[in-house]
Structure 1
Amino acid sequence: MPFSSTRRRFLTAAGGVGLSLAVSPFRGIARAQRPATDATFLFSCDVHACLVSADGLSPNCADEGKTDAALLRHVAALNGVGGRLWPAQIDGRPTGLASAGKPIATPLGLVLGGDMTDDGGGQVRVPGEGRQLQQFASRYQQGVGPDRVHYPVYNGLGNHDLDQDGVAPHVDWYRRELRDYVELNHRSTVFYKAPVPVTNYDLDSDNYSWDWGGLHLIQLQRYGGDDTRGAISGLPWLRQDLATYAADGRPVVLFQHYGWDGFSTEHWDPAASTFDPTGAGPAHWWSEEERAGLLAALKGYNIVGIFHGHEHPTPMIYSHEGYDIFKPVAAFMGGFALVRVTDTFMDVALAKAGGNPDGLAFTHAFSKRF
């Protein structure tokens, strides 16, 4: 199934496959001056760690499937990726992947696209380390054994991590705790070595970037340019980061929580008294102006993919204004994306954890040649 680079396209049915033949304007630009690119990694989103006591969940979490057992199945599937083969077929249809039938390299890391926790880390009235953040770290901080992710984890925050106000006078304590967790995991100093160090960390926005060979990767947290709930926009940092690290035309991949799908872009509908994709009122999550500001900052660079979360049950592969965009099913529902970027192609396979401890099923595929 061909993919259009000029119109939005969603994949919602199992077995969706796609191939894009993209002619990059950056082909050959400074190629000899940058490292070779062959990076395999995982992306997931919407973990929604939900514990608020030793064995109790936040309200509605059990009904929604946000259980520790679900996270353990997800972690097992992530850890079981290396050594499998890239899918040549999904539901009997060729995937078109350049890597089809080849062994999957050990992923360089797992990147997360927000909503690590369900309620601001799982806080209580008196400031302290939240149970949900403890649960998240016990599963999604690199470790050994069947209950921990085996790869470096690149953390990202979403609305469930940042939008909840604490009890006065500790209104911002919970946001600060989550932001501190990201910083302490990724920002090294002269005196401190982060567990998963990155190249460029912005203290104002907690955006950060790093490189795997000739691939540049950027974490934008809730969304690029977020200035709500006391956040400071990271767009000036983003412009400088791209100018510093990606001006040679190298491929760039972005990660954030919100996307360009109908849920992420919904507005208040006064007639229906709810937020929906057809509403004409204020934006629910981020506005047209904010989306335009982010895209303007990306113009002129070789952005090969944008990965996001936020919407839970629907796997999506679509394009918007020429950018290829990917969203797997939520992590607590078993979803993730397997990605490989080289100098000549990009492969993405959406997958979902199965019922067996290490089982997984590939559901959608996308490939483009550079």
Structure 2
Amino acid sequence: MKPLASILQFGLVILGLPCAGVTAAPARNVTFLSSSDSHYREADHRGGCHNDLNRASVEEMNRIGDLAWPKQLGPEKIDKPRGVVMLGDLIDDGDRAENGRQISAEQYQLFQADLGLDGSDGLLKYPMFEGWGNHDGPPIGMQKHGFSSQGELKRRNLIRIEKKLISNVSSNGLHYSWDWDDVHFVQLNIYPADQQRASVHYSSVWHNPQGSLAFLKADLAKNVGTSGRPVVLMAHCGFDTDWWVAQDWAEFYQAAKPYNVVLYLYGHSGTGVSTWAPQGEEHKWNCINDGQLTTGFFVINLTGNRLRAAYRLKSHVVFTKGPDGKMQHTWDGGWGWKWLLDTRIDPVTTPATK
């Protein structure tokens, strides 16, 4: 894990009032939460269990509207979040059974009990928008033990469409997008590409991105076009992964370059904030590596031309290995803030917006 720190502070943005007789678009004010890598385990997992820490993070998510932003970003209270994005590795063992016991299904039930789907069916009080990661199991039909977390994602996306939580889903039912105010969000699952490169020697089955890049191209062309409105992209992997490689990163960047990408969210490898662009590209994307639900979550807000974010972090969590070889943990119950981001999101002039 390599934490990255990048705190950018700017002055206030003064917005003009609309002319008389002109209907103004609703003001942009979107607050949401982001986390990943919950790795839910059955209670008697051979390596130990940390589900109680996940649950404590969900409870803190439910309380977040009672808190103020860190003083560097505030001082006002945090608005009620529109929802929570979860960026993969929801469970620890995506295709496992023992002596007829469906371990993966048990882990998924624990994830679902805490995170729910629409804010009314689990501990979490907001809608939740998950993607799959490298721990969550293979594509539908490729699993060995019956249960498929990707099958569950496909089923849940049908419910999201019915409840109007999302507006577009890929033909395979996995990748999807939606709008909050004028901000467009795209969930790309494990990583943005159409297939794993032949030169990458990892499981091509479990790491199959299943056309997420093609979905992104079509979705942005149809739903964003030349509007210039902000775009938030998300996937499990970031620009530090050795089986989603630099050639893939460049193709992903070129696919989204004509659009106003204000943030890329990812999990898998650590926690922090940074900026990134391929070599030779001038415009860098804001990036958040959103950490593990076990330790906390990011609070993110887009208001006008401002993007701000902060990581809500458990304090003094200590992991140790017990005499039975299982990981144990202690936590003093405290919370704090870390990895603050405050920056402008002025529109980018590209061929799509000229």
- TM-score w.r.t. length of structure 1: 0.73
Distance 1:110 1:186 in 2: 15
Contact 1:20 1:366 in 2 (8 A): no
Cα distance change of structure 1 residues 286 and 176 upon mapping to structure 2, 3 Å threshold: farther
Within 5 Å, which residues of 2 pair with 1:293-312? 293-312=251-270
Contact 2:57 2:293 in 1 (8 A): yes
Equivalent residue for 2:143?
172
| Alpha-carbon RMSD | 3.2
Q: Structure with the greater relative contact order (CA < 8 A, sep ≥ 6): 1 or 2? A: 1
Q: Any unmatched runs of 5+ in structure 2? A: 14-22, 197-204, 278-283, 316-330, 347-354
Cα distance change of structure 1 residues 205 and 175 upon mapping to structure 2, 3 Å threshold: farther
CA drift of 1:231 comes to: 4.7
CA drift of 1:153 comes to: 0.6
Residue 233 (structure 2) aligned to one of 238, 251, 254: 254
Equivalent residue for 1:7?
none
Moved over 6 A (4+): none
Contact 1:205 1:233 in 2 (8 A): no
Equivalent residue for 2:68?
85
CA drift of 1:83 comes to: 2.1
1:365 aligns to 2:327 (yes or no): no
Equivalent residue for 1:18?
8
For 2:114, the aligned partner's letter is: R
Aligned length: 302
1:202-253 CA-partner distances (Å, limit 9, x unpaired): 0337110000011100100001115242552222221111112222011010
Within 5 Å, which residues of 2 pair with 1:1-370? 11-12=3-4, 17-19=7-9, 35-51=26-42, 55-57=43-45, 59-60=46-47, 62=48, 66-88=49-71, 95=72, 97=73, 100-120=74-94, 122-124=96-98, 130-142=105-117, 148-162=123-137, 171-172=142-143, 177-188=148-159, 193=162, 197-204=165-172, 206-228=174-196, 229=205, 231-247=209-225, 248-261=227-240, 264=241, 284-312=242-270, 315-321=271-277, 322-332=284-294, 334-354=295-315, 355=331, 359-369=334-344, 370=346
1:85-133 CA-partner distances (Å, limit 9, x unpaired): 0111xxxxxx3x3xx1111111000001110010106545769671111
Q: Any unmatched runs of 5+ in structure 1? A: 1-9, 24-31, 89-94, 265-283
- Secondary structure of 1:244's match? helix
Cα distance change of structure 1 residues 12 and 339 upon mapping to structure 2, 3 Å threshold: same
Cα distance change of structure 1 residues 344 and 20 upon mapping to structure 2, 3 Å threshold: same
Distance 1:240 1:160 in 2: 28
CA drift of 1:186 comes to: 2.2
- Secondary structure of 2:254's match? helix
- Secondary structure of 1:253's match? strand
Equivalent residue for 1:5?
none
Contact 1:306 1:326 in 2 (8 A): yes
Cα distance change of structure 1 residues 234 and 125 upon mapping to structure 2, 3 Å threshold: farther
Equivalent residue for 1:279?
none
CA drift of 1:340 comes to: 0.4
- Secondary structure of 2:178's match? strand
